Amino acid sequence: MRRNYWTYSAGLLVAWGLVFLLAGLLRGGHEVRVVLPVFGGFCIGWVSTTIARYVYPPPKRWLS
């Protein structure tokens, strides 16, 4: 398995797409609007961890 942050991020995008798709299909448009603030909070956290990964890189033992 590759240790690649962008692969992980793409997987998260697919997972959130499924959440929105299922919420829309099973519960309707109102439920999608309910999930949007949760997704917004997730995006804030994802951006902060992405910034932290570049400011504080992992120890050298993980880079080999």
Contact 39, 32 (CB under 8 A): no
For the entire predicted model, the pTM comes to 0.74
| Predicted pLDDT of residue 61 | 67
Contact 9, 46 (CB under 8 A): yes
Contact 16, 39 (CB under 8 A): yes
Give the number of domains in the chain: 1
Q: Across residues 49-58, what is the average pLDDT?
A: 83
| Predicted pLDDT of residue 55 | 86
pLDDT tens profile 2-48: 568 888 889 999 999 999 999 999 988 888 899 999 999 999 999 99
pLDDT band at 63 (very low <50, low <70, confident <90, very high): low
Whole-number Å distance between alpha carbons of 7 and 26: 28
The DSSP output letter for 58 is P
Range of the domain at 19: 5-63
